[in-house]
Amino acid sequence: MKILLFVLVVVATVNNCFAQVLKPVTISRPEANKEAINQANKPVAIGNVKMDEQKISPVIQLNQGLVTATESIMAKMKEVVNKANGFKDDKLTEVFNSAKIKGYYRNTNAVNGVIYYNPVRKKSVFIYGDIRKFFDTQGGCDSYIDFPVNDMSIVKSGFDGQYGENATFESACITVNASRKLYPVFGLIYEKYRTLGGVSSNLGFAASDRVNYTKASYAQMFDGGIIIANNNTAFTILGTIYKKYNYAACGLPLADATTEKANSKVVFIVTTQKFEKNTIISSTKTPACLVKNEIYKKWILYGTSIENSCGLPTSDAVDNGAMTAQNFEKGLMLLVNGKVTFVPDDNEKNAEENNKIRQQNKLQVIKFLPVKN
């Protein structure tokens, strides 16, 4: 009987031990660890303490990228505090570009003001006003514009000296001219604009949105010119050539303009730009003129633009049936049935015959002046 009682006690004890092992186990965590987990799952709080007293919690320090962003944004606030007028909220917000690279931003009390942290360049950038508002409408960083690169700033136009606003981004810039007209510049046109100096160049501020010419070509106008992109290249048209340029008459540019400066014997400059259908030649002593490419090829055989025995063109080429005629300083270029001939005004008979053709084509006639010995 005693033996049986002993066995029952042992069995009961063993069963109780197995029951304890098979019960769900709740592991208690130290309060400090719970707090760390809670903090890690919350937006990063910056707080409203003074900037020079800002402290970063141990949890944030676990993410060095976030620490860098926080410190960078705080430093930018110190730099632009008068414009930003303090922070609007107490947290950093994550933002991604189209390549899924993560950055951060924090709103300020400026109108539409925000400080972005650009992780590519490891710097913070302040933009505000109409530019930031437009940036948001386009999709912000996750758009064709990408992360901001430089603070929005007041800039002077290299074209007319007027002031406006400009902000640069990884893949674009946004300009606001003196008349408060805002336009983005992006793609190949932006790359060309940037290399020329942007607003500070002869182009000045953007003056239109981008427009398509063909499936492969598009253009954008600026105060001082136009940039046209075709396939993988972009060319600029400036100054008097820009004023003369007409897409229907010229087609797309084949190159940027070239300038030939006068030597010590002369005091003028010639600018030439080639297009699909015509070439435009302009100088400081003659107007910008459209020259048919067939005539241009003949003209360059007579010398450089500065020292050419035909002189410079003084009128556009005029089509009249099978003949195309064009005035030059020293004679008349004629294109008939694909053949180009230059007839100089070097004697009275030639000048008289040339003037008859000029009258037929409504070109300015010239008065023959014999060269004095």
Res. 15: pLDDT tops 50: no
Percent of the chain having pLDDT more than 90?
71
Residue at a domain's end among 86, 115, 141: 141
Q: What's the mean pLDDT in 358-370? A: 82
Asked if residue 137 and residue 156 are part of one domain, the reply reads: no
Q: Is residue 102 part of a domain?
A: yes
Q: How many CB atoms lie within 10 A of CB 163?
A: 12
Residue at a domain's end among 141, 176, 196: 141
Per-residue pLDDT at 234: 97
Per-residue pLDDT at 25: 29
Per-residue pLDDT at 16: 43
Residue 70: C-alpha distances to residues 47, 78, 122, 146, 312 (Å): 12, 13, 11, 20, 63
Per-residue pLDDT at 261: 86
Q: Per residue in 131-144, pLDDT tens?
A: 999 999 999 999 99
Per-residue pLDDT at 48: 33
Asked if residue 135 and residue 61 are part of one domain, the reply reads: yes
Asked if residue 113 and residue 71 are part of one domain, the reply reads: yes
Q: How many CB atoms lie within 10 A of CB 217?
A: 17
Asked if residue 157 and residue 134 are part of one domain, the reply reads: no
Q: What is the DSSP string of 2-41?
A: HHHHHHHHHHHHHHHHHHHHHS--PPP--HHHHHHHHHHT
Asked if residue 134 and residue 66 are part of one domain, the reply reads: yes
Beta bridge partners of 235: 228
Q: What's the mean pLDDT in 289-315? A: 94
Confidence band of 41 (pLDDT split at 50, 70, 90):
very low
Asked if residue 157 and residue 115 are part of one domain, the reply reads: no
The residue range of the domain holding 135 is 57-141
DSSP state of 211: E
Per-residue pLDDT at 265: 66
How far apart are the C-alpha atoms of 142 and 130, rounded to whole Å?
Answer: 19
Q: Is residue 283 part of a domain?
A: no
Q: Is residue 136 part of a domain?
A: yes
Asked if residue 187 and residue 161 are part of one domain, the reply reads: yes
Asked if residue 133 and residue 167 are part of one domain, the reply reads: no
Asked if residue 160 and residue 133 are part of one domain, the reply reads: no
Q: Is residue 340 part of a domain?
A: no
Q: Is residue 68 part of a domain?
A: yes
Spatial strand order in the sheet of 182-186: 153-156, 163-168, 172-176, 182-186
Per-residue pLDDT at 56: 39
Q: Is residue 82 part of a domain?
A: yes
Q: Which of 232, 228, 313 is nearest to 270 (CA)?
A: 313
Q: What's the mean pLDDT in 193-206? A: 97
Asked if residue 65 and residue 137 are part of one domain, the reply reads: yes
Res. 364: pLDDT tops 70: yes
User: Mapping DSSP to helix (H, G, I), strand (E, B) and coil, where does residue 75 land?
Assistant: helix
Q: Is residue 179 part of a domain?
A: yes
Confidence band of 51 (pLDDT split at 50, 70, 90):
very low
Asked if residue 128 and residue 175 are part of one domain, the reply reads: no
How many independent structural domains does the chain possess?
2
Least confident of 271-285, 306-320, 358-372: 358-372
Q: Which residue has the tokens 């009682």?
A: 5
CB 237 within 8 A of CB 225: yes
Residue at a domain's end among 197, 231, 265: 231
Q: Per residue in 68-121, pLDDT tens?
A: 899 999 999 999 999 999 999 888 999 999 999 999 999 999 999 999 999 999
Q: Is 130 left (phi over 0), alpha (psi -120 to 50) or beta?
A: alpha
Confidence band of 372 (pLDDT split at 50, 70, 90):
low
Q: Is residue 200 part of a domain?
A: yes
Per-residue pLDDT at 311: 94
CB 291 within 8 A of CB 283: no
Asked if residue 122 and residue 61 are part of one domain, the reply reads: yes
Q: What's the mean pLDDT in 339-364? A: 92
Q: Which of 261, 307, 264 is nearest to 284 (CA)?
A: 261
- Mean pLDDT (the chain) is 84
pTM, to two decimals: 0.78
Res. 298: pLDDT tops 60: yes
